Structure 1
Amino acid sequence: MLDPHAALPFAAAVHSLARPALRLTWDSRQASPEVAFVALPGEKMHGNRFVEAALAAGAPFVLTDLDVERAVRVPDAQEALFAWARHERAKNALVVGITGSAGKTTAKSYVAAALDAQFMPVFNTPPAIACFLIECGASFRPLVVEMGIDRVGEMAELVDLVRPDVGVITTIGATHLEALGTVDNVAFEKGHILRDVAGQPIRSFVGAQAAAYFPGVDTYGFGGATLAGQELEVTAEGASFTYAGQAVSLPHAATVQAEAAVLGLALAQGAGIALNEAAGRMAAVQVPGGRYRVHPGRYTVIDDAYNASPIAVTAALDALSGFPGRRVSVLGRMLELGDTERALHAEVGEHARAKADVTYGVGAFATELGERAYRTVPELLAALTADTKDGDVILVKASRGISWTLERRAAEGVGLDTVVGALLAGR
């Protein structure tokens, strides 16, 4: 329980009617008799505007600078939230931070399973991470935190908040270039996760793909990695390999998932966890929807539509090429690529043509991404469903927010996840 009357790591005036809560939220719509509300500043409005709504919903307390009933009153709610998060995180013996241009959620899922850890949900903004640390920091179980960035300086801020004992970088590639500028800058910014707040190295691992950016740091994966799995075999049914003599089988997985499992086993081994137990838990991992989730059936749908970057799309296409049957790629625009976006879309499209038998593209760079190009998702979907055959394997991947048209994106909010839904419904 989160007791506002207990010792807090910040100065606060606690209202006498404030009650303990099970969870925290900065979204007043989620406030309830068990969920307290934190009134944070937003891009368009301050959370203070929703304090009364949270109280009306029964919030046990509200963290705010307002003098209201059940208030935990502080000068700055965001600073108080982060101070509280650092205080609770310090009670945990093992916190793993994971970042990368692609594969963060996959790595988080497998590492958490291997360590039997508590882990961040999909939403991984600084306030979400802070709430997670407050709610789970005192747990006897390890914590796994996904740490994504999209601007200069953000990783240093997250390291100050999370203070990971182990830092992991999965991959380095062209992501968020509008803000970060170059791939070298991406590596530099993400590299902050490999050091503590004083700039000293911590226990660190990087995926083999990112090794060139971080010389001297232990790598994980296969082949020449420092921590390497052996005898990797990837089929339509999944991936299998061995690590330190332990056999591992991952249903519906590809190389990316197998690499994440190697990382999980290496961390489990370092934590003194039996490898057979770690391998058993990883075999049952279900990644969140939209992140390389394979749906077998009359035809197979690979739902990878949550997000996309050149390195992530390339990896998904490589996995697609290993399936039997007619291989179909359905690709949409990758966002935040800056001035190089057309060239990067063309490179991905060339890779798609090499790995898939049929290539579809939709949106602003449809012709670069596929031989069959469509302006809108409905037009694409009509053509795709008419052409789909039994035995096909269909990969669907794009950045979130790709919609019917650019002008209607905000109003309609329709992305390639609707294509996945229609394909699954049509089986």
Structure 2
Amino acid sequence: MQKMTLEKIAKVCHGRYFGNESAKSEEISMVTIDSRTVERNSLFVAIKGERVDGNTFVDGAYADGALCCMSEEEPEDKTRPYIVVDSCYQALKDMAELYRTLCPVKVVGITGSVGKTTTKEMIASVLSQHFHVLKTKGNFNNEVGVPLTLFRLRKEHEIAIVEMGISDFGEMTRLTKMVQPDSCVITNIGQCHLENLHDRDGVLKAKTEIFTHMNPNGHIYLNGDDDKLITVQSDGKRQITFFGNGKDNCVRAEKVENLGLKGTKMMVVTPDEQFEVTVPVPGKHMVLNALAAIAIGLDMGMTTEEIAKGIRAFRPVGGHSSIEETAHFTLIDDCYNANPVSMKAGIDVLSDASGRKVAILGDMFELGTKERKMHYEVGEYAVQKGIDLFICVGSLAKEIANALEKAGKETSVFYFAQKEEAMEMLPSLVKEGDTILVKASHGMHFEKIVAMLKEM
């Protein structure tokens, strides 16, 4: 990190500085909220969480080489560099906003109801063929994770790809104020966080807050197959590129060939050219994710060869439609999160598998007052997909099981109220050679089911 002195930090955070006055001109090397990652000349921010109070690690942070610590509590030892703020959470955002202005790097901001992480990884895979890229790690996409992502920017980075997730109105405005993206990608508008956002129109309103603090001459990339996103209009300065399968999209897929679990082959068509690309992971939704990455790569001057190579090199992160061959099964690990759109997409991927197909489906959270109806509709959708065995887990997933059982198709359906009950019965339900989809909202902790299946 450059030009982030203690004096600048205290000022931007409206904090009170304690310690040696001469140290105020010193620059920090990094910002961390995890005392285990403290390094020489770092700033340790002592977040007081529900389970852990960062203030208990202040002395250890100094011992490990921290230049300064930040807290909402006054220090006992006022001789060491220390900054007191009203809110450490707000201070993180204030510092990130300052640091972003000091980093002359192009930033791509990504949001959407489904596919944010996969699209982020896809774009990073493409752009890294030509540029030095920084990307969001894991799920660091909220009002704590986004600042920590920005703090990782260094002078060698040419492009940053920042994932931005929200659950309520106003959050995206606060995120984009820090990120100040030059380009914005919205993957789709689905049925997520409806407890706060009410309906898809509310989701659209909340997601498009990403434009609030973006570059006024920036570029917007939207899924043109989404009925809500096609209503977004340019303000006259920012260019909009629509991507998708439809004929009206500027960057579109034609001659799409399903390769089963090996992915999809397609012809990418733009107003200027067309070229063949193979997406190495299955699912129609992966085609859209790839098209977003292709559109950005083309606008950044990359060759079609570089772009095709980047798409081929893409690998999904764990819990996001990653496919793994274990000793006995083929696992489709999609257990990081779930909503009706992504649940149906996961079922579609499973339906393309050969051999016996097993779906282990759990509750989808934050769907509002119609949550049971939405689960039932997933069951209705799944009926026609040729799945051999459904294992439904959780109070809401009971509606998926109800819809499947009502249809009376030749498929086996098992329901368990608790994850532990399902795990106890799994060895007797799955068979050698099964392809198994594991899908639920993160709060169901289905990663434990994935781990169990890998060990079987």
TM-score (norm 2): 0.82
| Cα pair distance change 1:54/1:354, threshold 3 Å | farther
Who is 1:411 aligned against?
none
Match in the other structure for 1:237? 262
Which residue of structure 2 lines up, in the alignment, with residue 376 of structure 1?
A: 418
Report the Cα offset of residue 130 of structure 1: 1.4
**Greater CA drift, 26-35 or 238-247:** 26-35
Displacement of 1:4: 5.0
CA separation in 1, counterparts of 2:274 and 2:82?
Answer: 53
Tell me the distance in 1 between the aligned counterparts of 2:245 and 2:229.
18
In structure 2, distance between residues paired with 1:252 and 1:385: 28
* Alignment check: 8 A CA contact 1:362 1:376 kept: yes
3-state SS, counterpart of residue 226 of structure 2: helix
Deviations 1:114-148 (A, max 9, x none): 11221011222222211221320644420111000
SS at match of 2:228: helix
Q: Which residue of 1 aligns with 2:43?
A: 36
Asked if structure 2 preserves the Cα contact closer than 8 Å seen for 1:211 and 1:219, the reply is: no
1:44-193 superposed matches below 5 A? 47-48=54-55, 50-64=57-71, 66-67=74-75, 68=78, 70-73=80-83, 75-76=85-86, 77-90=88-101, 91-116=103-128, 117-122=133-138, 123-136=140-153, 138-193=155-210
Aligned residue for 1:397? 439
Q: 5+ unaligned residues in a row in structure 1: which ranges?
A: 403-414
Return the letter of the residue paired with 2:116.
K
Q: CA deviation at 1:268?
A: 0.9
Aligned pair count?
A: 413
Who is 1:331 aligned against?
361
Does structure 1 retain, via aligned residues, the 8 Å contact 2:4–2:99?
no
2:302 matched residue in structure 1: 273
Does the 8 A contact of 1:152 with 1:189 survive in 2?
yes
Q: Which residue of the partner structure matches residue 364 of structure 1?
A: 395
Matched, 1:262 2:274: no
CA contact (8 A) 2:280 2:311 kept: no
The answer to whether the 8 A contact 1:353-1:359 is kept is no
Q: Which entry has the higher C-alpha Rg, 1 or 2?
A: 2
SS state of the match for residue 398, structure 2?
Answer: helix
Mean Cα displacement is larger for which, 133-142 or 11-20? 11-20
SS in 2 for 1:58: coil
5 Å matches for 1:332-351?
332-351=362-381
Q: Secondary structure at the match of 2:316?
A: coil
Structure 1 pair 108/255, CA: closer, same or farther in 2 (3 Å)? Answer: same
Q: CA shift at 1:152, angstroms?
A: 1.6
Larger mean CA deviation between 121-130 and 335-344 belongs to: 121-130
Q: Is the 8 A contact 1:126 1:158 kept in 2?
A: yes
Q: Which amino acid aligns with 2:295?
A: A
Contact preservation (8 Å) 1:10, 1:80: no
Q: Do the aligned partners of 1:96 and 1:166 also contact (CA within 8 Å) in 2?
A: yes
Following TM superposition, by how much is the alpha carbon of 1:306 offset from its aligned partner in structure 2, in angstroms? 0.8
Alpha-carbon spacing, 1:137–1:177, altered in 2? closer, same or farther (3 Å)? farther
Q: 1:348 to 1:63 in 2, by over 3 A?
A: same
Matched, 1:203 2:219: yes
> Offset of 1:49 from its aligned partner?
5.1
Compared CA separation, residues 10 and 211, structure 1 to 2 (3 A): farther
1:50, 1:181 → 2: CA distance? 41
- CA 1:156–1:41 in 2, change beyond 3 Å: closer, same or farther? farther
Q: Distance in 1 between matches of 2:213 and 2:27?
A: 33
* C-alpha displacement of 1:366: 3.4
Between 303-312 and 318-327, report the one with greater CA deviation. Answer: 318-327
Query: Normalized against structure 1, the TM-score is what?
Result: 0.87
Tell me the CA shift for residue 338 of structure 1: 1.9
* Further displaced range: 142-151 or 318-327: 318-327
Note if 1:226 corresponds to 2:247: no
Range with greater deviation from structure 2 (324-333 or 239-248): 239-248
Deviates more, 1:243-252 or 1:266-275: 243-252
Amino acid at match of 1:149: I
Deviation of 1:175 after TM superposition, in Å, equals 1.0
SS in 1 for 2:66: coil
Closer, same or farther: CA 347–5 of 1 in aligned 2, 3 Å = same
Matched residues in 2 for 1:35 and 1:285: separation? Answer: 33
Deviation digits for residues 10-45 of structure 1, max 9, x if unmatched? 527474568755432223344344753123465688
Q: Structure 2 CA distance, aligned partners of 1:331 and 1:61?
A: 47
* Pairwise CA distance, 1:201: 7.9
Matched position secondary structure for 1:136: coil
Q: Residue 137 of structure 2 aligns to which amino acid in structure 1? A: P
Give 1:346 shift.
Answer: 0.8
Question: Shift of the alpha carbon at 1:154?
Answer: 0.5
1:109 alignment partner, SS class = helix
When residues 192 and 31 of structure 1 are mapped into structure 2, their CA distance, relative to the original with a 3 A threshold, is same
Residue in 2 that maps onto 1:320: 350
